[in-house]
Structure 1
């Protein structure tokens, strides 16, 4: 499946301008959100991901792969084609266990890409994905990020608005709950009210919000950013009142966030990056608490804006004054618990 992305591809020479020693190098990390793909002109598979981890000097013990339309099946019913992505990532996960690519348990959990708009008929797809995942499938993400302004777009394939509250989507999400699978959601701040209604409708379903709830910085959101920040915070506050909702902290390198790191002469240092993103991270922590928050790299998408090492150093700077328990939750334990990762198989430094 040919997919193009609105996000900039990484420039190795540009990224190499900023090199930093790792802060808190012994701190165990579960990278709660990354992708693997082989797209035209942009290959990011196990070797590339392992290199980013290795060069960063971070103690990444495990990772969560998230749907990105990678290696879909070429033949068969359209509904079943995403099963190919789970098969592909399970193979990568097994490859990582060889130890040849480092000690990280890459893809210790898999979030697949079933189409929940199939309603109850998605059951057969989920069953096939669970079988293909061999116990690694922990959730599903159906792309739902949408906005009426065409300037605001991060999905490679645009989708119509309002999908989450359709009868079909809710029925499909109920099939996830029946199987104790998570629902990952990438939504914009303008859609958070829909997630509130979905979470209230399906209290037995655990929902994981990607990329800090999608604060926007493009189009009209470039004007009066303080007001839009306040609007994002208010919507996120309502969502945080739903105990079945969790949130990932990351994705700030995407152009849609409005920081434009990729357009600068040099990439940001971890200190510069931390200064920019700390207000968003701190709000998420304040509203959801440490036990419902987790850090994510969103690589290789965010690699167009900063290196892996700089990102995790920025997170360490933000967490500098947190307790050891709090750091343990957000860097490691929340993702491990939520995605049911067996840490006995994960090596640590």
Structure 2
């Protein structure tokens, strides 16, 4: 089975700092204490087993915010040493677009050959258990001003948010129709224990999908379903594909975070089982082609 994994994280705790791993704890996404160890390219490829990983997209791993460019520099050095494979083949870097130095950081990230996009986590939730940032960045004038600079550097935006924020994100996407947005983790449906929660996710995803410049990654589902099975993942996978269409959806592992709840091979086999009756062309798009196109790898 060949895949292009469009969402992975690497970290080296010996040489770099990741504040969230200084004193990790337990949250709704799992026990981060089990992640406090180096996770390098060879570790991921060793875990892949029978899954043939053709290309990798690295998404910023909450590196030290005092020097986010150092993460990109390190990842590019790994890719340069990796020879013909050049992994990670695409880098989605971190920038706080609300910060005064955001323009300089965007320019610095863009100077590296494998940089393809930016992610700034936007998740805001009324329940403190789920809240990441406590600020509505998309409503801040300076954040929006700096967001407009992504197009200058030909950078996409990895969109990590909750359903309650999707309408605002769709408005942002319409205002920046020449920037590609890629929704992370199938829209992070955390309010799944109520009819209103399901409706908010479903309608929010449809609102995002109405924007032709928004794609979606089917990833991170295990963060919200720690005892997942093929059948428990199936409705979220199929609803997401149906909403965005096969041409704008892609599978990803979110490793090593989702490693807390299953193996790399089991996850990809689950995706394959869910879309087993899709055509060869549809499988090519979901497992490889869309990720290659969106991240230009």
Q: Name the TM-score, length of structure 1 as normaliser.
A: 0.75
Return the offset for 1:84.
0.1
> 2:179, 2:59 → 1: CA distance?
18
Structure 1 gaps of 5+ residues are: 1-24, 99-103, 262-267, 342-349
For the pair 1:285 / 2:278, whether they are aligned, the reply is no
> 1:234, 1:333 → 2: CA distance?
27
Q: Which residue number in structure 2 is paired with residue 249 of structure 1?
A: 218
Q: Which residue number in structure 2 is paired with residue 60 of structure 1?
A: 53
Q: Which residue number in structure 2 is paired with residue 148 of structure 1?
A: 126
- 1:218-247 CA deviation, whole Å, 9 max, x = no partner? xxx3532x4422221111111110011110
For the pair 1:137 / 2:115, whether they are aligned, the reply is yes
> 2:37, 2:123 → 1: CA distance?
23
**1:43-82 residue pairs with structure 2 within 5 A?**
43-53=38-48, 55=49, 57-70=50-63, 72=64, 78=66, 81-82=67-68
Of 107, 123, 147, which residue of structure 2 is paired with 1:173?
Answer: 147
C-alpha contact 1:61 1:105 (8 A) present in aligned 2: no
For the pair 1:86 / 2:52, whether they are aligned, the reply is no
C-alpha contact 1:122 1:175 (8 A) present in aligned 2: no
> 1:86, 1:123 → 2: CA distance?
16
Kindly report the root-mean-square deviation, in angstroms, between the aligned alpha carbons of the 2 structures. 1.7
Structure with max Cα Rg? 1
Return the offset for 1:31.
0.1
C-alpha contact 2:110 2:153 (8 A) present in aligned 1: no
Return the offset for 1:106.
2.4
SS of the residue 2:234 aligns to = helix
> 1:67, 1:195 → 2: CA distance?
20
C-alpha contact 1:63 1:105 (8 A) present in aligned 2: no
SS of the residue 2:135 aligns to = coil
> 1:165, 1:278 → 2: CA distance?
34
> 1:105, 1:249 → 2: CA distance?
24
Q: Name the TM-score, length of structure 2 as normaliser.
A: 0.88
> 1:44, 1:126 → 2: CA distance?
26
- 1:111-154 CA deviation, whole Å, 9 max, x = no partner? 000111136x52221111122x2x2000000121121211224x
For the pair 1:112 / 2:112, whether they are aligned, the reply is no
Structure 2 gaps of 5+ residues are: 14-20, 22-35
* Alignment length (residue pairs): 276
- 1:296-315 CA deviation, whole Å, 9 max, x = no partner? 10000100011000000001
- 1:176-220 CA deviation, whole Å, 9 max, x = no partner? 01211001111112211221111122111111110001111xxxx
For the pair 1:184 / 2:162, whether they are aligned, the reply is no
- Residues 336/61 of structure 1: CA separation in 2 closer, same or farther (3 Å cut): same
- 1:280-337 CA deviation, whole Å, 9 max, x = no partner? 1111111111111110100001000110000000010011010000000010011101
Runs of 4+ in 1 over 4 A off after TM superposition: none
For the pair 1:276 / 2:276, whether they are aligned, the reply is no
